[in-house]
Amino acid sequence: MNLIKKAVITFIMAISFGASTVALAEDAKAAEVIAHLEAAIAEIGKHDFNAAYTHEKAARNASEEIVGNETVVKQGLDSIIKAQIIGKSADEEKAIAELNKALGFYKSINH
């Protein structure tokens, strides 16, 4: 009987460890996306839409590696894409507003 209990406990611990590892990886990717979005906002503030686009593209790529929270990631990606489109018309205020919206989505993953 003790052997069965030990096996069950070991199995549960292994599953818990695997889930926490995935959560940590997801948090790290969300943090990477957040860093790129904040850098993009800073570049737009300097009127450098090319550098901002580079950070937006990196944020999109990192975002695609987040495996959980599909709905939140989709909403965040939509906002990043909108910001990229807005950036082509050099509308700083709207681009920053859309990036801030995306930041909110990704920060909700990280907390």
Q: What percent of the chain has pLDDT over 70?
A: 76
- Model pLDDT, residue 45: 92
Domains (ranges, CATH) in the chain? 25-109 (1.20.120.660)
57-106, pLDDT tens digit by residue? 999 999 988 877 788 889 999 999 999 999 888 889 999 999 999 999 98
Q: Give the closest residue to 102 by CA, choosing from 65, 84, 77.
A: 77
pTM of the model: 0.73
Average pLDDT estimate for 19-32: 62
Provide the pLDDT for residue 21.
43
End-to-end alpha-carbon separation of the chain, Å? 41
Q: Is the pLDDT of residue 25 over 60?
A: no
**What are the backbone dihedrals phi and psi of residue 40, each rounded to the nearest 5 degrees, phi first?**
-65, -40
